[in-house]
Structure 1
Amino acid sequence: MVNNGSSKPASVKERAKTQGWRQSPAVKWVLMALFVLLFYFSLAPHVIPETYDITEGTASEKDIKAPYQIRDEKATRQAEEDAAKKIDDSFSIVQLRNDQLVEQILYRIEQLNMDDQVTVQNKIDIYRSEIPGRYVSHIDAVVKNSKSSGTYNNTLLEEMARLAKEQQYTIPEETFYKMPQLTSEQLSDMRVVAREIVRKLMNEQIREADTARTQVAELVNASSLSNRTAREIVQELARFVITPNKFLDVEKTEEAREQAKLNTPPVVFKEGDIIVKQGEIITPDLYKLLSDSNLLQDKKHYWPQTGLLIMSLMFVVMLYAYLHQSGSIGGVKPKYTNSQLLMLWLIFVINIMTIQIIALTQTDAASYAGFLAPAALGAMLITLLLDLHLAIMGSFIFALMGSIILNTSQTQIFDFKYGFFIIVVSLAAVFSIHRASQRSAILKAGIMVSLFGSLAVMAMLMMSENLDRMPFIYSIAFAFASGLLTAILVIGLMPFFEITFGILSALKLVELSNPNHPLLRKLLTETPGTYHHSVMVGNLSEAAAEAIGADGLLCRVGSFYHDIGKTKRPNYFIENQSNIENPHDTIEPMLSKSIIVAHARDGVEMLKAHNIPKPIRDIAEQHHGTTSLKFFYFKAKKQAEEQGLEINFTEDDYRYPGPKAQSKEAAVVGIADCVEAAVRSLRNPTVEHVEAMINKIIKSRLDDNQYNECDLTLKELDKIAQSLKESIIGIFHSRIEYPDDAQTKEKTETK
């Protein structure tokens, strides 16, 4: 029974469920779980730091090393404080214009002394109250003006006002009694001298006003003033207006200290540094450091594990989605068996393991060693052994994982320069190898990987800011070596996968198609007719298989070996009976049937003895299915009727033992085998004869339920028939009569 492309018969579904571990859904999900575990544990050392079960106040049982760079906050804060303490106080000079103040006081004295309406006593009282007030007003005015102009910060002005008022000089009482005695001429001279003395002293940096005031007497005595009273008053007024002009700038000091803290490098434990030595007591500070660094076995630090598990599941979902779309999960006839999924898992293991090994050679100074990783190994193996599209999808997973495993940075999870490198070399490998037909093609693909990998690395490095010569050369050299290493590993691993999983890669099929293979050479020398027939079947079946999306190369090579069993008794097969009598004419039909059907079983035994892969053995065993040898059945029936014997056998006794075709390829070879023999038997074939014969053979096998156990559809059978017709017309072009030729011949013969 054949499916129309939309549904499967119940018997096929039940059989699919019982085909063993290779098709078991439970085994599929176990393999999916293995993928999750592979991704999780491969990335865990690079993402999840090791944790320790320790308690505060106990001695550490072993050295605890930093899995990555860890900042010691307490030590960093202490270092910052130490740096801040080393910064001296900052002072700022504030110009108070003290010379203007002394000039204003003397000018006021002159005005008041000239006023005859004011008594001497009143003048004294005014001097006693107004002069100290002018000092305070002058300081306040400086503060106000400075704030409005923004010349100095508020903190500095407040400090200036405070110190100026604290160090204000007190004029002796007797000085006020002498002031009314001064004349205008004396005050004029006094203003000049007082102003110069104050300017000279205030040009120096003064923290303590008393220190500067000690110099006033000497400067006054050295001045041009000759009047004793005038000198005494100038001396007291100069002392009075002198103030500090160098003040502690708190804001500037704090800014300098904060800058010093910012400039202090953090105290860190570098990757691999010992944080806690074996036997060291876990102090509260150490415990907090370990806790803050997520190095303690604490439930609240399970986020990295959860995140990695989610990422691993996402990788598997990507695989599942592709496999589901390609019909490998949930279908009756999966595109990939569990055996192939297990092989895919092993490829992932090997590829990830090689990347891990290279990652061990990386250091901070030689991170470019990561470009040596043969990251294209997995993509190349998947392309050769499984599927090109699956290899492309796997390339992206390898790129993501490689960018984590090869990452040497402690500040990010992915290093996409390695991810970009891996995706470039993987895709280069996929598109260089997917049509490979010889082992040497692997080496050529490796060279392509080397070239594209080197170009990718060169491009990335040329775009970076720091282009150091030696790392640049080493990076390109490692990237080039990566491609060659990939080719070597693929060549070495291919036989392992082909033998272990019975995989027939395109390379293996091409090797088996070599005419110098012992079995093909035996077929050619001992049964040339069968050899020619096998080659013709190969041509027909390859085109037909490709028309329905099956493996054309497998059909071709399987056709070469499908009749190898005939070499045991070559003369019993018509294509080898050249100039000899047919031995079947002299033996019983049942014996003839036994000899004919034995060639399938004999062929399987010979193929197994020569370690020919199972898919080819299956074609040899299944290409006849359980079809009937009707010629010998009817011959036996006729002989029994002629001899008057009772017919004690049925047509089923004259059938091949099977099994029926289990794959599209076996079914296609079986149809092509029958069609080629039938066409060869036609004396004057026409296109109509060929087409009718092909349809008859396919319908006969369809009615005989020969396709019940493979997933051929009616639509695919139509495509097979069309392909066979086109191929036969091309191969037997000279023998086939076209309609016009046939009509012409018929008219000629009737004349």
Structure 2
Amino acid sequence: MNQNQTGKQGSLRPSKTAGWKQSTAVRWVLMFMFVLLFYFSLAPHLVPETYDIEEGAVSEKDIKAPFQIKDEKATRQAEEDAADKVDDIYSIVALRNDTLVDQIFVRIEQLNLDDQVTVQNKIDIYRNEIPGRYSEYIDSFVKLNKGKGTYNDTLLEEMAMIAKEQQYTIPEETFYKMPNLSAESLTEMRNVARDIVRKLTGEQLREAETARTQVAELVNASSLTSRTSREIVQELARFAIMPNKFLDKEATDEAKVQAKQNTPPVVIKEGELIVKSGQTITPDLYKLLVDSSLLQDKKNYWPQLGLLILSIMFIVVLYAYLHQSGSINGVKPKYNNSSLLMLWLIFLINIITIQIISLTQTDTAPYAGYLAPAALGTMLITLLLDMHLAIISSILFAIMGSIILNTGQHQIFDFQYGFVIIVVSFAAIFSIHRASQRSTILKAGIMVSLFGSLSVITLLLLTEQLERVSFIYSVAFAFASGLVTAVLVIGLMPFFEITFGILSALKLVELSNPNHPLLRKLLTETPGTYHHSVMVGNLSEAAAEAIGADGLLCRVGSFYHDIGKTKRPNYFIENQSNIENPHDTIDPKLSKSIIVAHARDGVEMLKGHNIPKPIRDIAEQHHGTTSLKFFYYKAVKQAEEQGLELTFTEDDFRYPGPKAQSKEAAVVGIADCVEAAVRSLRNPTVEQVEAMIHKIIKSRLDDNQYNECDLTLKELDKIAQSLKESVIGIFHSRIEYPDDVKTKERLA
């Protein structure tokens, strides 16, 4: 009872269960063990292996890439090769050479019309001025276009340099012929020269000389008839022709940069050899190992930190659930440190089985991962601990399985496996959480097989992985996984039940079989006690379920709670059919010793048949330290009749205990007393039954029998109500209802 609920009950119960199972220090050690389990089980898949090797040394083992690694040197070489393959880019510069032709002919025409200038002066002017117009035209073009974006500055500089290098030199005699040209001749010559220049510079020219060789032919084919005119036009046209296709260094450099950027990096794929055994570690190889954090002295600790945080997050999820459910604080007996240790072992076994299956996976056969019995842990937790804890654990199993079974090169999780694990885990939970026989495990395994196969088929259809062999193997492995899971669960259940003293529902149902040697002994040697035990089982199961306790444990515990009576069956009233009561002829103290011994004798018999401790506890604790008042008062009466002074007290006529340590033991004790009391009534009424139940509970409450279990007053009320309803249902034919009593009174 809780202190604030017991009223006059006194102090809290002593912590008899204190020890390692309730120790806070042990609890934190177990939490740390969970973190270590998560960390070291996932480390091989998330943290790359490191090597102790020096530059210039010979490697003693093959070193494989733990993940895809970029080869920086090879990548740079590939980029340089790609850049070298880029051809030079040439751009066209539209110089409009016909404009230069116009300028020259305009100048000649102006100067020829000037009579104040002598012929010799005109010749000198032509000789000095016309050659300079070539460079002036180019410079003015550069100045006009620079910075406008039509041509880049580098191209303009390249154009100016190349064009000036290819400038044509006009023969000296040509200048002597120019002063004698008339305005009409100049007009015709300008038109012809301009047309020829336009035609020849309309094509791409890297070398001006190529086009200049064609000028003479075009001039001869023109409309000019004067030989002098043709000669002058020919020289001036050659002079005006410039190259128009130039190396664009800026565009070429940009193309090379683009080629480098478009070059895919050279990578060493996951699992490929970086260093062969016996190979010397060159500087390049050493740098590659350093950059990949594969050397112990150059180790990158970020993955370890990330994995540690992930492991802590996993245990926080478990701790939060256990704390929220009250199990961490030991409120529920089966969720103490022993249960945490069992949970740790289940996680260990489940992870080991997944790890073993992961070793069979290859790049060509990743579907072998579907064979992993990932629902093994979920089924064990559901059967041995709690369904809701199994749901939380299945999520963690799915995350870890998606890491361990991952065969991808660019991802941490492969949620195809995670999805399958979630599906089969939930199928297992809902198939087995109400299991009552071992065959249920096999049925649950078949459900895991069916849902696992269905989930795999769904994934294969969604991802269009319909290659026949792969499809068949994937589905077959998923189906086989469920059967393997069932076999492993059936094999491991006895280990956990024996090692941790776990009373699973399956074990309880097995123990309730009437063919069990002890129950057959009870039935054949003490049929009255057997019938009493069965009735107590019916009453206690309903009462326990009314307060949320383990009803099945109460029922099975009731079957065995009086097994000790088989040693001296005739000394118990339910077995005294057609015989005298032996207690009438023996000393009350001896009667007391015989009666209280049945609890101790029962525990010894249960131990001899390896009956689990929770059932032994019920047999030992169901009477608590209650008093055998009948024999006490009988002893007092005999002493008074003989005129003897009392040398004993009521405490000498009490059961040795201990008091009930669990709700189940307390409920069985109440039901045991109520069943015996109701059976002793000849024609009980509903009011008598109700009053009797409350009297029994109050008597034990006043006697401090519930100080060492966590029953509350509210729960005791629920127990009383449940017992009343069950008694009325079981003894229906014997109980008189108010209307029946009134009828009998009227008849009387």
Q: TM-score, normalised by structure 2?
A: 0.91
SS of 2:380's equivalent? helix
Paired residues for 1:145-544 under 5 Å: 152-184=151-183, 186-187=185-186, 190-191=189-190, 193-195=192-194, 197-217=196-216, 220=219, 225=224, 227-278=226-277, 280-298=279-297, 301-331=300-330, 335-464=334-463, 471=470, 474-544=473-543
Within the alignment, does 1:694 sit opposite 2:696 as a pair? no
Could you tell me how far apart the structure 1 residues matched to 2:540 and 2:128 are? 126
Q: 1:333 to 1:459 in 2, by over 3 A?
A: closer
Q: 1:97 to 1:368 in 2, by over 3 A?
A: farther
| Farther-moved stretch of structure 1 (23-32 vs 1-10) | 1-10
2:599 equivalent in structure 1? 600
1:433-484 deviation line (CA, Å, top 9, x unaligned)? 2122222322333333344444444555555487766655554444444333
1:30 equivalent in structure 2? 29
CA-CA distance at 1:110 after TM superposition: 4.8
1:563 equivalent in structure 2? 562
Judge conservation of contact 1:206–1:212 (CA < 8 Å) in 2: yes
Judge conservation of contact 2:101–2:190 (CA < 8 Å) in 1: yes
1:45 equivalent in structure 2? 44
- Counterpart amino acid of 1:239? R
Judge conservation of contact 2:147–2:153 (CA < 8 Å) in 1: no
Judge conservation of contact 1:205–1:246 (CA < 8 Å) in 2: yes
Could you tell me how far apart the structure 2 residues matched to 1:628 and 1:504 are? 31
Q: 1:333 to 1:683 in 2, by over 3 A?
A: same
Could you tell me how far apart the structure 1 residues matched to 2:263 and 2:474 are? 34
1:12 equivalent in structure 2? 13
CA-CA distance at 1:319 after TM superposition: 2.0
Q: 1:150 to 1:483 in 2, by over 3 A?
A: farther
- Counterpart amino acid of 1:604? V
1:737 equivalent in structure 2? 736
CA-CA distance at 1:150 after TM superposition: 5.4
- Counterpart amino acid of 1:585? D
Judge conservation of contact 2:22–2:330 (CA < 8 Å) in 1: no
Judge conservation of contact 2:3–2:10 (CA < 8 Å) in 1: yes
Q: 1:474 to 1:346 in 2, by over 3 A?
A: same
Paired residues for 1:540-555 under 5 Å: 540-555=539-554
Could you tell me how far apart the structure 1 residues matched to 2:282 and 2:112 are? 80
Could you tell me how far apart the structure 2 residues matched to 1:2 and 1:233 are? 127
| Farther-moved stretch of structure 1 (327-336 vs 287-296) | 327-336
- Counterpart amino acid of 1:321? A
CA-CA distance at 1:207 after TM superposition: 1.9
Could you tell me how far apart the structure 2 residues matched to 1:332 and 1:386 are? 14
| Farther-moved stretch of structure 1 (607-616 vs 381-390) | 607-616
2:87 equivalent in structure 1? 88
Judge conservation of contact 2:2–2:12 (CA < 8 Å) in 1: no
- Counterpart amino acid of 1:527? T
User: Aligned pairs, how many?
Assistant: 747
Q: Percent of aligned positions with the same letter in both sequences? A: 81
CA-CA distance at 1:542 after TM superposition: 0.8
CA-CA distance at 1:382 after TM superposition: 0.8
Residue ranges of structure 1 left out of the alignment (5+ in a row): none
CA-CA distance at 1:348 after TM superposition: 0.5
1:140-199 deviation line (CA, Å, top 9, x unaligned)? 666578779855555434433332233222323332222223345544554465455445
- Counterpart amino acid of 1:621? E
Q: 1:83 to 1:279 in 2, by over 3 A?
A: same
Judge conservation of contact 2:3–2:11 (CA < 8 Å) in 1: no
Could you tell me how far apart the structure 2 residues matched to 1:544 and 1:323 are? 26
1:719 equivalent in structure 2? 718
Q: 1:12 to 1:332 in 2, by over 3 A?
A: farther
Q: 1:145 to 1:690 in 2, by over 3 A?
A: farther
Could you tell me how far apart the structure 2 residues matched to 1:153 and 1:470 are? 61
| Farther-moved stretch of structure 1 (527-536 vs 684-693) | 527-536
Could you tell me how far apart the structure 1 residues matched to 2:72 and 2:273 are? 16
CA-CA distance at 1:346 after TM superposition: 0.3
Could you tell me how far apart the structure 1 residues matched to 2:647 and 2:67 are? 86
1:220-249 deviation line (CA, Å, top 9, x unaligned)? 456665543233223322221222222222
- Counterpart amino acid of 2:13? V
Judge conservation of contact 1:2–1:714 (CA < 8 Å) in 2: no
SS of 1:550's equivalent? coil
SS of 2:274's equivalent? strand
Q: 1:265 to 1:722 in 2, by over 3 A?
A: same
CA-CA distance at 1:252 after TM superposition: 3.3
| Farther-moved stretch of structure 1 (529-538 vs 578-587) | 578-587
Could you tell me how far apart the structure 1 residues matched to 2:32 and 2:554 are? 35
| Farther-moved stretch of structure 1 (311-320 vs 521-530) | 521-530
CA-CA distance at 1:34 after TM superposition: 0.9
CA-CA distance at 1:24 after TM superposition: 2.5
CA-CA distance at 1:362 after TM superposition: 2.8
Paired residues for 1:668-687 under 5 Å: 668-687=667-686
Q: 1:476 to 1:141 in 2, by over 3 A?
A: farther
- Counterpart amino acid of 1:253? T
Judge conservation of contact 1:13–1:332 (CA < 8 Å) in 2: no
Could you tell me how far apart the structure 2 residues matched to 1:288 and 1:10 are? 72
| Farther-moved stretch of structure 1 (581-590 vs 538-547) | 581-590
1:78 equivalent in structure 2? 77
Could you tell me how far apart the structure 2 residues matched to 1:699 and 1:221 are? 140
CA-CA distance at 1:367 after TM superposition: 3.4
- Counterpart amino acid of 2:167? Q
Could you tell me how far apart the structure 1 residues matched to 2:187 and 2:559 are? 133
1:513-560 deviation line (CA, Å, top 9, x unaligned)? 223333333333333322221121111111111122111111111112
- Counterpart amino acid of 2:600? R
Aligned alpha-carbon RMSD (Å)? 3.2
Judge conservation of contact 1:12–1:332 (CA < 8 Å) in 2: no
CA-CA distance at 1:740 after TM superposition: 3.5
CA-CA distance at 1:42 after TM superposition: 0.9
SS of 1:67's equivalent? coil
Could you tell me how far apart the structure 2 residues matched to 1:435 and 1:708 are? 33
Could you tell me how far apart the structure 2 residues matched to 1:141 and 1:739 are? 128
Could you tell me how far apart the structure 1 residues matched to 2:275 and 2:378 are? 44
Paired residues for 1:130-145 under 5 Å: 131-132=130-131, 134-136=133-135, 138-139=137-138
SS of 1:503's equivalent? coil
